[in-house]
Amino acid sequence: MKPYVEMTKEELQELRKELSAQYKEFQGRDLKLDMSRGKPSAEQLDISMGMMDVLSSNDDLTCDDGTDCRNYGVLDGIKEAKELLADMMEVAPDHIIIYGNSSLNVMYDTVSRSMTHGVMGSTPWCKLDKVKFLCPVPGYDRHFSITEYFGIEMINVPMTPTGPDMDLVEQLVAADDSIKGIWCVPKYSNPQGISYSDETVRRFARLKPVASDFRIYWDNAYTIHHLYDNEQDHLIEILAECKRAGNPDMVYKFASTSKVSFPGSGIAAIAASENNLTDIMKQLKIQTIGHDKVNQLRHVRFFGDIHGMVEHMRKHADIMRPKFEAVIETLEKELGGLEVGEWTCPKGGYFISFDSLDGCAKTIVAKCKKAGLVMTGAGATYPYGKDPHDSNIRIAPSYPTLPDLKQAMELFALCVKIVSIDHILSEMA
């Protein structure tokens, strides 16, 4: 097939008729498919079911250091859980605090604390006229929702294949002291699956923000979520790199076991410098008497150590890999050479990002919905839900079964074709 833009009006109209018939056929199937959220499938959740058996009423719930996990105490996480999560996050155990079940919650708390109490003694953000965050786009909608909720102005920074446009990031943070943070998903990013290059990480660590309370929000949600054994992305560790660059306090690193064990019932953590951790603890000791130590112990007993976790992630990969490959294969087969869209081919994480012709994403998503396929809302990958090009669509392949996913992708590709033809025809008119 030649590129649609090279086809004549008549050729396009003829093709449009054929594709409409195929679409009607899809509508007749009464489909209920969902590729909207990056949730693990039931099959993936099943591989963690052993976690329900590692603690029973006959077990001793005492930690190595004698802490009784059934009772109050230990604010920053039990020692063995800190060791496990520290290995996962590639930092020293004394540089992390274990929280509850959700890293997003930790990020929310971090922004919230900065609003009300400032960062390591700086003016609380709520007392400033303006607070801004840099948002690499496309990005994770829930990050943007947090900053929007607190009235923080968000500035788009385009993503490149090696991470955010660092020229722009450097220039902006060096010029504007109201810029207090940047949202980053440095490995297998949401939604593009991009991992930051060494140069990008080094430049992050060497930023010269005018605001002393500027922090990099390094959400390493997909740190061990590889699809392949032999082809894995690796990042320079940001805490150590910031320290090396003379900026030890400039970063907060977040992660959780949500997509390792059970989303909503995992354990989350923050890693940061000693100064930052001291600052955070001032709030934490008021906020709670301690997080769920029984769940921390359950994770430690189930995984054993980081090797156990890595082995476990291979099982996730075995389920995820064919799904990612099915998405890419369908896109290549159906849309390859048509020049109506571009997509990423990540080696890990949870998402594939699709960019349609400008001005088509919303219509494609709506057309999918009319035939029974729910996609992430177009625009969701941008602050305020506004994609200036109306082109980015996030594909989340994890939740549907493989046969459902294949159908969903065929339908998606069909909708892309139809909407693209309409768009090209309208431009010809």
Considering beta carbons, is residue 190 or 195 the nearer one to ligand PLP?
190
- Window contacting ligand PLP (CB under 6 A); options: 28-36, 100-108, 154-162, 310-318: 100-108
CB of 351 to ligand PLP, least distance (A): 8
Place of tokens 């949600």: 221
Nearer to ligand PLP, 360 or 380 (CB): 380
Beta-bridge partner residues of 96: 271
Does 40 bind ligand PLP (CB under 6 A)? Our answer is: no
188 binds ligand PLP (CB under 6 A): no
Terminal alpha carbon distance of the chain: 23
Long-range Cβ pairs for the range 116-120 (8 Å, 24+): 117/282, 117/283, 118/213, 119/180, 119/213, 119/215, 119/279, 120/213, 120/249, 120/275, 120/276, 120/279
The sign of the CA dihedral 280, 283, 286, 291 is: negative
* Window contacting ligand PLP (CB under 6 A); options: 25-33, 241-249, 255-263, 297-305: 255-263
2 or 37: whose CB is closer to ligand PLP?
A: 37
With contacts defined by CB under 6 A, name the span among 99-107, 117-125, 229-237, 355-363 that binds ligand PLP: 99-107
Radius of gyration of the chain (CA): 23
Number of residues written out for the chain? 429
Q: Which is nearer to ligand PLP, 100 or 341 (CB)?
A: 100
User: How far is Cα of residue 256 from the mean position of the Cα atoms in its chain?
Assistant: 11
Binding of residue 38 to ligand PLP (CB under 6 A): yes
Q: Is 263 in the site for ligand PLP (CB under 6 A)?
A: yes
**CA 362/CA 12 separation, integer angstroms:** 21
**Identity of residue 134:** L
With CB under 6 A as the contact rule, the residue among 36, 48, 195, 258 that binds ligand PLP is 258
Contact call for residue 268 and ligand PLP (CB under 6 A): yes
Rounded Cα distance between 200 and 178, Å, is 23
Minimum distance between the CB of residue 263 and ligand PLP, rounded to whole angstroms? 5
Closest CB to ligand PLP among residues 364, 396: 396
Q: 215: exposed, middle or buried (C-beta count within 10 Å: 0-12, 13-18, 19+)? A: buried
Strand residue runs (E) in 76-193: 96-98, 132-137, 153-160, 163-164, 179-184
- What is the nearest approach in angstroms of ligand PLP to the Cβ of residue 220? 9
Q: How far is the CB of 103 from ligand PLP (least distance, A)?
A: 3
CB-nearer residue toward ligand PLP: 260 or 415: 260
d(CA 85, CA 77): 10
Query: Considering the rule CB under 6 A, would residue 102 count as an interface residue with ligand PLP?
Result: yes
Find the binder of ligand PLP among 190, 273, 344, 376 (CB under 6 A).
190
Interface with ligand PLP (CB under 6 A): 38, 102-104, 140, 185, 190, 219, 221, 256, 258, 263, 268
